[in-house]
Every structure is written in C-alpha cells, then in structure tokens.
Structure 1
Amino acid sequence: MGEFAIGQSVSRFEDPRLLRGGGRYVGDIVLPGMVFGYVLRSPHAHARIRSIDASKAKTSPGVLAVLTGADWQASGWGDLPVPGGLKRRDGSAFRPPYPALVKDRVRFTGDYVAFVVAESLIQAQDAAELITVDYEPLPTVVSTAEATAAGAPRVWDQSPDNIGFVQLFGDKAATEAAFANAAHIVKHRFVINRVTAASMEPRGSIGDYNAAEDRYTIYTTLQRAHPFRTELAPILKVPESKIRVIAGDIGGSFGMKSAVYNEVALVLLASKRVGRPVKWTSTRSESFLCDAQARDNVTQAELALDRNGIFLGLRVHTIAGIGAYLQTGMPAFTGNIGTLAGVYRTPAIHADVTAVFTHTNPVRPYRGNGRPEAAYVIERLVDLAADELGVDPAELRRRNYIPPEAMPFKTGLTFTYDSGEFEKSMDMALALADFAGFERRRAEARKRGKLRGIGLSNTIERAAAQGFEGAEIRFDKSGAVTLLAGSVTQGQGHETIFKQIACDRLGLDPNEVYYIQGDTDQVFVGEGTGGSRSTTIGGSAVDAAAERITTKAKAIAAHLLDLDAADINFADGVFS
C-alpha cells in the first residue's frame, strides 16, 4: 500500500514516543497504595544457613512484611519450574527443587534468602540490614572444568559428581571408524566464557493481588506473556484464568528475561500478604548477581581428515556449566548443536554434552542460543587443519563444502539443509574483502609498525523456530481497527513490522491502527519472542489474520452487491 507497503523502508512507529520519554516501563508504573520489596541475598557462593533472625527487621519503620524460606515453604506455593526429560548417563533423572526463597542452604552468591516489604525502598533496604543470618560457609566449585573432578565440592548432595544431565548426538560408531581411518587429526580445547546480558532496562516486577476476585496481576519484564502465565500458574497453584500478565515497553532482553524469576513469585505472595501492590526493581549490581547467565562451555573437539584434506569425522565433548539450579529453556547449548556440522560434508559426527552444576547463577538462552559456540568450534578446527596441512583456509573449505546439487542434504548431526550455495557465498565475501590483496596490505601495514590480520568463517543459522503465534485484527462498529499480537517486543520494532503487514494487506492507514501486545487479558493467544521468530512466525500470523478478514469481507460485499464472492475485487482497502 503506497509508501507503507511490505518491503518499503519506513520510519518506526515506536521511536518518537520512546525518544520523547513517553515509554511505559515497569519503572514508570505507579499503582495506588504501592509498596516496595527488597531481596536479601547470600554473600556466599555456598553455605549452610544455621539460623535467620528477622525480629528487628519486622519492627523497623515502614516494614509491612519479612518473608524467609520458612515462610515460602509454609505458603504452600510451588517451586519455580524446572525442565523435565533430562537424564544422566545411567538414565536416571535429577531435578533439584527451586524455591523462591531458600531455607537451609545457599548455592550461589546472590541466592535468595529473604524478601522485605516496606512503604519505601529505602525502608526495605534498611530493614534488610537488620536481618541476622548465621551462615556456615562451605567449599565451592565455580569452575566448569573442575566440577566433575574427584573430590570437587557437591552443589547438590543427590548428585555427587555434580552432573545434571547428559545428551548425546550423532553416530558414535561411525565417528570412531572415521577417526580410525584418518590420515590427519586436529584437536583443540575451547574455553567459552560465561556471559551475562546487560539490557538497558534491568528486570522489574509489580505484583497486585485482588482479594475480591482472588486474582493476580503481574506487571513485568519478559519476552513471552502467555507461556510466562502458563509457568506461573503451578507456582501460585491457581488456573491461568486467575492470572493476568502485563508487559509494557521493555528495554532489551537478549534471552535473559524469558524466565519466571524468583522475584515474580515473591511480589505476588507479598501482595497477597500485605493487601497492596508490591514493586521490585533490580539494581545493575543485582543484575550481575542474579540474572540468568549463559554459555560457560569447555569443549574438546577433534576433526579427522584424509590425505587430501577431506573431512571424515568430527568428535566433540562439551562440559557445560548450568549453575546451581535447573531453569526452563536452560539446555540451550544443545538446541542448536546441529550448527557443529557447519556447511561441510562431514559424514560422521558425534557430540557428547555433559551439563554440570556449579556454585554460580543458573543459565538460560542468550543471543544465538548455542549457535556462536558451535560455529566457533568447527570453524576454528578448519583453520587449524589448514595450518597443519599447509593449505589455504579458503581452499580447504572449498574442498569440503556441501555442493548445491546435493540439496536437500542430511548433515552428520540434527539438521537437514534444503538449499545453500556456500562456495558461491564465500567467493563473494573473498571478493568484497579483497582477500587476494591481503598480503600486500599486511606488508604495507608492517612498514608503518602496524599489525594486520584477516579471518575467514562460515556459519549457518537456524532461526524462526517452529511453533505457533497469535494475531488478531478487530474492526469495531465505528470502523476503528485494533491489531493484537501475541509476540512481545523488547525493542525490535514489532509494532511497525506488524502494522506494515496488516496495512499492506488491508489497505489501511497505519496511523489509524491501534496496536496491543503483552496483555493476556486482551491478547488471547500468543507464544512470544525468541529465536528470531517474531517477524517470520508473528508476521505470518498477522498476514493470515488479514487474509481471513479479506475472505469474510468479500462474502459480505458479495451479499450487499448481489454478486458472487469470486467476482469481488479488493484493492487499496476498497471492495468492488
């Protein structure tokens, strides 16, 4: 539709409001009678709690409630959700409890010991300093590589080797045979550091319990409103209909805000206890202490080649640090393990992933969700192989690329590629980078006392994860249009994207389309944002909704014009 058609470059609808400070983040929300919560966190990575004395805190000015692990246990509420179906090497499963407040033992620095509610945040912080906790410090293991060593401190007594679960991929026997017949084997140990997100807006939540309706409302920072409600319901032990989840503007996430965190449950329990809305907002320091982190892999990888540099097999063993607790979505490092196959014809691949507990933050998906780690492993091995064989790195890749005529191609791991011209893609990159002229540029740089390097790498990204998404387009009697999307934005520009699709399909003026997201009482169905899926899956849902409207409207127009629906034309918002 004119300048707002699909494919046109348009100005984002969100930006003027946000740039003028008109956003409505959790920090901007003030509810009548709202009070404030503060979490007392463990200063130890591992310690036994001998006792907690909160008597002085409870009588501190402005304090309305002090909750401890004993209070959480007495509430009868459920623990935070943990993933199922994960097995250790012997087939047994271990799913440690994940309470919102710990009672007897802390397992990482920042673990949740008490929650103080007061009329002001300062009063809550002051009262927290009056809580006396008698800790018995215990030995710790924070190194992923050392977690399974003999004599390493146990994170959980029920897991003496600190192994949470094991996942195996590929054909081990074929891979072992490939290595037995290899002329060359290159090996490398990869240490991929633990990382944390640093979103512009820290996490925050406001819990508001309505006693008259026995219903909970949570205002929070998230990525997926409807799955969030589904995970929250068994914690509160109520049906989903008793929970309303509201996400306004959200300042970044990168995977970190996809979890139901302890503070979400705490502000809701506290609101029910004190009869008023309770707000908690993370400080930047708290973000580093308690936000879910990511990666933290130690990988031993080997690539087998024949005499001509053709890849025969790839063998990978990864020890993945998962922190002190299991979290939903946490096995992210295996979700994209197929990326290890890269763009190469390696016939035999086997990967062994051992997830280990450490006295650190739990982990969750984070930017790339396992893809960067896997791509790094295979591409670095290819460079090492080229160096050992004395072959140009581009030439070695060229020998092993999957050719276009082999499509569809089943890789040695989990992926099947339906298309790809990988050699052509590399040649285009080499030309654009003037790869052939690099040595001349390096020599010139050396004369000026400068060092110059160049690298070559391939990756293939699985994005737009399958599943469903919700979208709804409503016309009221006045003709006003409302677009409702199940996906939730954290700055990606969903409003502009989805309006552009709807307006192009229906011939609407984007300035006259009202947009709603992130409210489970208004948007009935949704899956949410993650894995680069919103435009593809969410946009397709908007497109499908527009198509249904057009079909229905043609039938109505045919009735009014006394014609067959097949004879009705629709263009630029007009039926004729």
Structure 2
Amino acid sequence: MAEKYVGQRVKRTEDPRLIQGLGHYVDDIKLADMLHVAFLRSMYAHARITSIDTSEALHAPGVVAVYTGQDVSSKIGQVPCGAALPDLKVPDHRVLATDKVYFVGHPIAAVVATDRYAARDAIDLIIVDYEELPAVIDVEGAASNSTVIHEHFGDNIAYKLTAGEGDIEAALASADHVVKQRLVHQRLAPIAMEPRGVLARYLPGEKELTLWSSTQIPHLMRTQVAIMLGIPENKLRVIAPEVGGGFGSKLNVYAEEALLGWIAMQLARPVKWIETRRENIQATIHGRGQVGYIEIGCKNDGTITGLRYNVFADMGAYHQLLTPAIPTLTGLMLSGCYKIPAIQMNTTAVFTNKMATDAYRGAGRPEATHVIERAMDMVAAKLKMDPVEVRRRNFPTPEEFPFKTATGLFYDSGNYVGALDKALEMADYSKLRKDQAAARKDGKIIGVGVSTYVEICAIGPSAATPAGGWESATVRVEPTGKVTVLTGASPHGQGQETSFAQIAADALGVDLNDIAVVHGDTAIVQYGIGTFGSRATAVGGTALVLALEELTKKATRFAAHLLEAEPESLQFEDGKFSTDGKSVSIQEVALAAHLARNIPADMDPGLSATRFFEPKNFTFPFGTHIVVSEIDRDTGDVKLTKYVAVDDCGKVINPMLVEGQIHGGIVQSIGQALYEELVYDDQGQLVTGTLMDYAVPKAAMIPWLELDRTETPSPVNPLGVKGVGEAGTIGATPAIVNSIVDALSPFGITHLDMPLRPELLWKIVNNAG
C-alpha cells in the first residue's frame, strides 16, 4: 500500500463543522413536544429514607410526572457491572434509591416537566425524611469499619486478590536494601468538556425506543439498556452524536440512561436530561482512589530483586461497568519498563460512601506507573545513584522482546533505552544537572524528574475483557465511487474520522475527501465495542485494514472480468487496476458492480466488505518524560520550566493527532500532580464539588511541551500501531512528582503525595511544618 496520507500531518476533517458551531451534541437536539428531566439527589452520604412526599412537586407549574425508587425498582433492572472476579461482591444497584442512599449525589427521584427550569424548581418541593447513618469515607479503614454499607455483605470488602509471579519473600530477602513507602493516588474527576446527556424518544406504534447519548460505547449501551428495560435489542437504537470528551467517564451505562428510556416509554413523549457540572462532579464516575504500600528490593548496583505492593482500592458505594477491574490493571503493569523477577500485588477493594470509581484516562495504569517510577527514584536516592542509571540498569534489551513480566504479561515490542536516550539528548540531561547544581548555589529550588513508562493498550483480547475485545469495520464503495467507512469504534475527540480516512484513502488510492467515516449509530453501523483503552486505531483500524483488503480482492476480480484478464495479472496502484496497457479505476469497477450488467456469475452485485478483528495480545506503548521544575520560595508555587517527552506508540498514522493526544494527557497529569483532588469530609460531603473548588489547570499553567517519538511497530496487528490516547496521563505524572521531590531533596524530602499544592511546598521550604 503506497502511503500518500498515512504518516502525514493531515488536518482533522472533523474540525470545520465543530469550529463553525455546526456539530450537534445531545443538548443541541430538540424534538417536538419534548419534556425535561431533573433529579433530586441525596444530600447525605449514608442514610435511610424513611419517607418521600412528592405531592407538592406533582402540582407545581409545568410538572408532568414525578418518579421515585418505589415506582421504578421492579420495572427497571440493575445498573450493570461487567467485571468478573473471584468472590466479587456486587451490590444491588437500582436506577433510583429505594430505602437507603449511599453517597452524596445518589439519585432519589426524577421530575419530568415542560422545561428544565420547571423540573429543577419542582425538585425543591419534594420532601424526604432521612435517618442519617455514619459514613464510611477512609479507604484504609473501610475494611475494618464497624459501619457496613451494604449490611447483607457483612463487611465493606468488595474483593481481595493476590496476583504476581516469583518468590517475593526470597526476592526481598536477597536484596541489599528494601525501600518502603506509602503512596496515595487521590480521587479525580474526569471533567469532560461536555457533561453527560440523554435524549429519549419512544414511538408507540413501532414500539421503537431511540436514545441519543453522550457515550463512548453506543452498541454496548444498547445491549445493556435493552436488558435493563426488558425490551428487544432490535427495538432500541442508540445514537452517539458529537461527544465532547469522555476520558472513560462515558465508558459506562448509567442509571439516567435507562431511566430516561423508561420515562419516554411511559409518557410517549421525548424526554431530555442534561447533567449540570455539579452533578457531573458528584455523580459521574471518579478516577484513581488508591492507597498503597510498596516494598522494593535492590542490590547495591541498583538491580531490582522484587516488588510487593499492598493496595486499598476505593470502589465507592456501587460498581459501575468496570469498577472492580481497574485495580487489576494496576497489578498487571507494576513491572513497568523493568526486569523484576518477583512481583506480588495484594489488593483489598472496599466499599465507601462515595460515587463509584471506574476507568479514567489510563484506568489503573497511571497508578502502576506512579508506584514503580517513584520507587525507582527512591532506590536511586537510597543508593546515591542517578535515577537514569537505575532505570537503564533494569531495562530489558530490544532483543528480549516479546518480554514476559512477573505479572504475567507479554510485552509485544520495545526499545526503552532508545526512547530514554533520545529524551536525554533532547533535554541535554547532563547540562540540566550542572545547571541545577549552579542554581542551588544561588538559592534556587530546582528539580529534575524522569519517568520511563510502558502501558497496556489496544484493549484487547476478548478472553481478557468483560464485553469483548474485538472491533468491526465495513467499507463500501458507492456507485459514484465515493467511499463509506462504517466503524464500530466511537470517537469523541480522537480524530478517527481523519485517521481512518487516511488509511482507507491510501489502501484504495482515492482522495481523502471522497471518504466518509460513519460511527456512533447502532441502526447504521454493524455491532462494535467502542472507543476506550487506546484501542480505536489498533483494533478498530485493523478491522478497517482487513475490510479494505477483502474489498480490494473483490474489486480485483471485478476488474479482471472487465479487462478480460486473470486477477493475478492485475496491478492495483493509485486507485487503478492495470494489465497489459489496459486499466480501469476503482470508481469504474464500483459502478459496474452496482449496475450488475456484466459481472462474474459467482459474484454478488455491489462493492463492500465487513470484517472483524480479534487481537491476540495487547499492545504496549512506552516512552520517557523529563521535567524541570522550580519552586518559588515565597509562595510555594511550582513552575515547570522544561518538559520533554519521547513517546513510542508504534506506527503513526497522523503525527498531529498523536501530538494532540500527548498534549492533552500531559495537561491532565499536571492537574493530578499539582492541583486536582476530590476531597470528602468525615460526613461524606464532597467539599471540592464545583470548579470553584476542584482546580483544573488553565492554559497559562502549561509549559512549552517538547515532543518527539521513536517508532517500534507492534507485531500484534498489521498496521503496527499501539495506541496513544492515554500515554500522557501515564508517563507525565511521576515525572512531575519526581522533579518536585528532587527539588526538595536538600530539605530532607524523599516522597510527597499528590496533589503537591503550594501551601504544602511553602511549609517545607520555609520550615513551617
């Protein structure tokens, strides 16, 4: 396949309609006779509901209906949990609370009204009597807390799991040093630019329900909501229009989606709900939420002998789709980029009176990378070695791939030292260290941080995923020669309309602008799994390649028939089939195939192909990030003065899209490292529940990002791609923290937990606490 478009910095074809305001998000869609829904949510983290009085709300102006948990609990099934683990406790999760509330923001009642303001006003007229109960908030204390959230379980432990390979006791015993540290991965809010939203329409005559939803997984949502509502799946259509970001938060089937569908069926009128930002922070899934204890053994030369990690993982009050699975990803990636002969991870997953945690950009892998990268820096400090040299000493060589880790994974390909050396050269690392020493003599507080990471991507083989790991694609050449690509991937900012068109344009030798990429509509697109886990191009793009290959074979037979030649004699290049001085374009072949006046007897009319791709393994992108930070002695404020990142995501389809993903991930990592935290008080109140209190970084806080890449193709798929959507959130956070801890090492600091707020740093440098 000649590469005219693949590998080029093609501008996003999606952008013109979006920047002109011509895209349509859920809230832009307006239907005749449409009603609006608002939710009454719990003000308590843990309480019994002793009574609910909705009478005044029912008589409020514009109100059409009010529903409580008692109205719907027997009519709508449970919110699904897709994870399957040994001895996993799965609480009964209804769309509206019935007898108890389990977190602040737990939905209790839904008001349906003629406009959203009337619905919201009526919420205040519902009277709920509560019997407040003690809240379970502390993650480490939840397992032994006398207050049991779900009483029938007997305790707050959702599951316990031990994983890893090798003799960990012997490995730690053989070490010259064992470094121990407690590490906290604070709860985070994904903060997609567009909050969640649902519009439901039911046609009673056809018995057809349509949901417009801001979702990453339209087909999986269709399946799960159909089950919850007890309706035929072929009578439910899910459409994901423009989706304003997700970061994993829309990789879920929430209570509101099924409930809106049910309400539309009851009233036979369209109903819409658009989440407020306060609701979004309270009641859309949270990320991270782990507290762990690491023990890492090393020899005097820096060789790692073994690693043990005991972690308490905060599930929240309920499981969402992947909640229990996220800590298992942490365990799988604890080896990082290193040859560690023995690893053990002991997970205690606990219920707390908070919103559920689930997949947030990186989903368990940022936690693992932060653990191992902080550990490598602490080993370096213990041995008084350069952190770079400790890392280099423990890398597998490129010749050792595929490389098996002590967590049971097979890394597909890698050249970790290549990415590291390129980043060191870009940053001029030796000069950075010299400049740091000179600046410290002048009283400046300067730090240099390094992070080398590897992540598990292209989620993934169906045997290892809850809902299937394959993906689908259909390619159709229309009678006029234009090309339609239908993909089961469901992009929400990644740029697949552009990258998939690049792949198809090169394969078929047509102009990029002649290709339409269609996604996100279950009535049009063949069943697909969706976009998450950095899988869309590695899995969905490979399905597209397979469909293109099949279509080209079919077109070759058509062309051979038209040219009265053998298919084996034809050459296909730049969109033309040629042999012996004769040629026919793929557009001419498509027209002939559709007119069907002169086609081979054993072939069907039309020119299309559908293929599915089931990967045999995950892919494993990797890279190195280097950060220089300076702490203001007077304010404690951190300035990132240099940022270098070298990432390897395998074959690159569009460098501009790759850089955009890296940029966004790094910004979110800066937020986690320095600013963001969902803080609950002892009563379970979310005290950082608005963007006044939950601090996300602004553009002015972001340094100039110097990006480059190495390219180590993956053998797992024919494209050689690995994935890049989460790389920035995985590699950046530990590099930033390592830099700040390095800056504070003259003050005796060996570790700090995120977020590294100015007041904390100011106290350290000014001996105030």
Global fold match (TM > 0.5)? yes
CA distance in structure 1 between the aligned counterparts of 2:238 and 2:478, rounded to whole angstroms: 25
Q: Which residue of 2 aligns with 1:247?
A: 240
* 1:188-199 alignment, distance < 5 Å: 188-199=181-192
| Match status 1:559 vs 2:558 | no
Pairwise CA distance, 1:293: 0.4
- The equivalent residue for 2:524 is 522
1:133 aligns with 2:132: no
Q: Which moved more, 1:249-258 or 1:543-552?
A: 543-552
- Does the CA contact (< 8 Å) of 1:190 and 1:377 recur in 2? yes
Alpha carbons 2:330, 2:367 under 8 Å: kept: no
Q: 1:464 aligns with which of 458, 463, 478?
A: 458
Residues 272-317 of structure 1, C-alpha deviations (whole Å, 9 max, x = no match): 1111000000011110110000110000010112344321111111
Q: Does the CA-based 8 Å contact 1:217-1:243 persist in structure 2?
A: yes
Q: Which residue of 2 aligns with 1:16?
A: 16
Residue aligning to 2:490: 488
Q: Runs of 5+ in structure 1 lacking a partner?
A: none
Structure 2 unaligned segments of length 5 or more: list them: 461-468, 579-769
2:755 matched residue in structure 1: none
The separation in 2 between residues aligned to 1:317 and 1:34, in whole angstroms, is 51
C-alpha distance in structure 1 between counterparts of 2:257 and 2:332, whole Å: 34
Letter of the 1:267 counterpart: L
Per-residue CA shift, 1:482-536, capped at 9, x if unaligned?
Answer: 2211111111111111111111111222323333210000002211101111122
Q: Which residue does 2:693 correspond to in 1? A: none
**8 Å contact from structure 1 (residues 324, 359) kept in 2:** yes
Structure 1 stretch 310-319 or stretch 503-512: which is displaced more? Answer: 503-512
Specify the SS of the correspondent of 2:451.
Answer: coil
Is 1:190–1:298's contact at 8 Å kept on the other side of the alignment? Answer: yes
Residues 309-328 of structure 1 aligned to structure 2 (within 5 Å):
309-328=302-321
Change (3 A) 1:424 1:18: closer
In the alignment, what sits opposite 2:82? 83
Choose the corresponding residue for 1:356, options 350, 353, 367: 350
Aligned to 1:384: 378
Opposite residue 39 of structure 1, the aligned amino acid is: F
Give SS of 1:340's match: coil
Find the aligned partners of 2:484 and 2:391 in 1 and give their Cα distance.
51
User: Are positions 1:260 and 2:262 aligned together?
Assistant: no
Residue 360 (structure 2) aligns with: 366
More deviation in 46-55 or 237-246? 237-246
Write the letter of the residue equivalent to 1:379.
E
Q: Tell me which amino acid in the other structure corresponds to 1:132.
A: I
Does the 8 A contact of 1:194 with 1:293 survive in 2? yes
Rounded to whole Å, the distance in 2 between the matches of 1:243 and 1:282 is 22
Structure 1 pair 396–111 and aligned structure 2 pair: CA distance change class (3 A):
same
Q: Which residue of 1 aligns with 2:231?
A: 238
Aligned twin of 2:175: 182
Letter in 2 for 1:182: A
Instruction: Work out whether residues 222 and 233 of structure 2, in 8 Å CA contact, stay in contact via their aligned partners in 1.
Output: yes
TM-superposition CA deviations, 1:364-406 (whole Å, max 9, x none): 1111111111011111112112212222222222332223343
Partner of 1:51: 51
The Cα shift of 1:542 comes to 1.8
1:535-574 correspondence runs (5 A): 535-574=537-576
Q: Output the CA distance in 2 between the equivalents of 1:84 and 1:198.
A: 24
Q: Which amino acid aligns with 1:209?
A: Y
Q: d(CA) in 2 for partners of 1:311 and 1:30?
A: 60
Cα separation, 2, equivalents of 1:459 and 1:271: 47
Two-structure CA RMSD over aligned residues (Å):
1.8
Distance 1:383 1:112, change over 3 A: same
C-alpha contact 1:26 1:204 (8 A) present in aligned 2 = yes
Match of 1:212 among 195, 202, 205: 205
| Residue of structure 1 equivalent to 2:421 | 427
Kept after mapping to 2: 8 A contact 1:51/1:135: yes
Q: What letter corresponds to residue 186 of structure 1 in structure 2?
A: V
Deviations 1:202-228 (A, max 9, x none): 100011111112221100011111111
**What is the identity, as a one-letter code, of the residue corresponding to 2:40?**
L
Correspondent of 2:100 among 83, 105, 115: 105
Distance 1:17 1:222 in 2: 20
Query: 1:129 Cα deviation (Å)?
Result: 1.1
The answer as to whether partners of 1:471 and 1:525 remain within 8 angstroms in 2 is no
| Alignment match, 1:124 | 119
Which has the higher mean CA deviation after the structures are superposed, 427-436 or 481-490? Answer: 427-436
Q: Report the secondary structure of 2:290's partner residue.
A: strand
Q: 1:56-71 to 2 correspondence within 5 Å? A: 56-71=56-71
- Residue of structure 2 in register with 1:334 after alignment: 328
In structure 2, distance between residues paired with 1:142 and 1:501: 49
Structure 1 window deviating more from structure 2 (316-325 vs 546-555): it is: 546-555
Q: Distance in 1 between matches of 2:528 and 2:394?
A: 42
Aligned-residue offset at 1:409: 2.5
Amino acid aligned to 2:315 = I
Task: Output the CA distance in 2 between the equivalents of 1:181 and 1:310.
Answer: 11
Q: Which amino acid aligns with 1:514?
A: A
Partner secondary structure for residue 154 of structure 2: coil
Alpha-carbon distance in 1 for matches of 2:470, 2:298: 42
- Residue 63 of structure 1 contacts residue 127 of structure 1 at CA under 8 Å; is this kept in 2? yes
Matches within 5 A, 1:441-452: 441-446=435-440, 449-452=443-446
Task: Find the residue that maps to 1:453 and give its secondary structure.
Answer: strand
Kindly state the Cα deviation for residue 230 of structure 1 after the two structures are TM-superposed: 1.6
Residues 418 and 19 of structure 1, relative CA distance in 2, 3 Å threshold:
closer
Q: Distance in 1 between matches of 2:497 and 2:536?
A: 11
| Counterpart selection for 2:220 from 227, 233, 243 | 227
Q: Distance in 2 between matches of 1:514 and 1:390?
A: 57
The one-letter amino acid of 2:121's match is: D
> For 1:505 and 1:404, how far apart are their aligned partners in 2?
31
The Cα of 1:35 is off from its aligned counterpart by 0.6
Cα contact 1:64–1:274 (8 A) shared by 2:
no
3-state SS in 2 of match to 1:322: strand
TM-superposition CA deviations, 1:14-58 (whole Å, max 9, x none) = 111100001100010001111100011001111100000101111
Aligned counterpart, 2:686:
none
- 282, 287, 301: which is aligned to 1:294? 287
Give the TM-score, by structure 1 length.
Answer: 0.95
Contact 2:145–2:156 (Cα < 8 Å) also in 1: no
CA distance in 1, matches of 2:302, 2:6: 46
**C-alpha distance 21-84 of structure 1, shift in aligned 2 (>3 A):** closer
Q: Residue type of the partner of 2:402?
A: P
Superposed displacement of residue 360, structure 1: 0.3
TM superposition score normalised by structure 2: 0.72
Q: 1:40 to 1:502 in 2, by over 3 A?
A: same
Relative distance call for 1:235 and 1:435 in structure 2 (3 A) is: same
Contact 1:164 1:355 in 2 (8 A): yes
Distance between the aligned counterparts of 2:492 and 2:315, measured in 1?
Answer: 25
| Corresponding residue of 1:283 | 276
1:154 is matched by which residue type in structure 2? V
Q: What secondary structure, in the 3-state scheme, does the structure 2 residue paired with 1:33 have?
A: coil
Letter in 1 for 2:81: V
CA distance in 2 between partners of 1:143 and 1:541 (Å): 45
Pairwise CA distance, 1:346:
1.3
Offset, 1:469: 1.4
Task: Return the alpha-carbon distance in structure 1 between the equivalents of residues 313 and 184 of structure 2.
Answer: 10
CA–CA distance in structure 2, aligned partners of residues 449 and 180 of structure 1: 41
* Alignment partners' CA distance in 1, 2:427 and 2:242: 40
Paired with 1:83 and 1:2, the residues of 2 have a C-alpha distance of 42
